[in-house]
Amino acid sequence: MGFGPVGSVIDHNLACLPVGGRAAMMDAMPTNVALGCRCGRVRGLALGVSPDSTGHVVCYCDDCQAFARFLELPGIMDARGGTDIFQVPPARVRITEGLDGLECMRLSEKGLLRWYARCCRTPIGNTVSARVPFIGIIHAFRSREGDAPPRNDMLAKPVGIFGRSAIGGTPPDVHPRAPTALTRDTRSRSSDGGSAGRAGRPRSSTRALVRPGLSPRS
């Protein structure tokens, strides 16, 4: 009931727009994206996703390819070894079911924390550390409707990175490494993305994904 006035203002503004502008405004509005592993035991939400607030990459790096091989599941990588990932602050991610089913591993002592569902080995996402509020959610953890692929209209066009590690050489229009502008944008989104915390306090920490007693496996 408390959202009524806000909703009325939005409805009024949309009604005053021409059809094309109305569609553009609706496309730009943040969306909550349903998350889930392949078997459905681990579920969650990514909050406030929009092209302006979310990074979107296809990563061809050696470590992302190694993680996909570790999980031994088809469909994580594309034919050139790329993994589709969208990037948000951890404070905007909620695991609503199956929290005790999370597993974490590292490919090296200082490597990324790579999360997956123990039940069906679906990859969930990658984090750096509790001091770096950032998670890259892997496309395989986005909920599907039947056999349809996850929607991409709420995400910006993906940027291909680390193409020098791609299978068969660097694909067209893919950066050989990670462009500086992309790194800067990711840090900016992470630093101001904690607004989903309780009582208005930022809660951008990878601890939101860590349960007691869970330690990464190298």
Reported as a single tens digit per residue, the pLDDT across 151-192 is 667 788 899 999 999 999 999 999 998 876 555 555 555 555
Helix or strand run (H / E) with residue 186 = helix 180-191
Question: What does the pLDDT look like over 37-79, one tens digit per residue?
Answer: 999 999 999 998 888 888 899 999 999 999 999 999 999 999 9
pLDDT confidence band for 103 (50 / 70 / 90): very high
Q: Residue 180: its pLDDT value, please?
A: 63
CB-CB contact of 113 with 216 (8 Å): yes
pTM over 0.85: no
At 86, the amino acid letter reads: F
List of domains in the chain: 4-209 (2.170.150.70)
CA distances from 128 to 59, 78, 147, 206 (A): 16, 24, 32, 8
Percent of the chain, pLDDT > 70? 65
Identify whether the C-beta of residue 126 lies closer than 8 Å to the C-beta of residue 136: yes
* Cα pseudo-dihedral 61, 91, 41, 157, rounded to 10: -50
Q: Name the 3-class secondary structure at 136.
A: strand
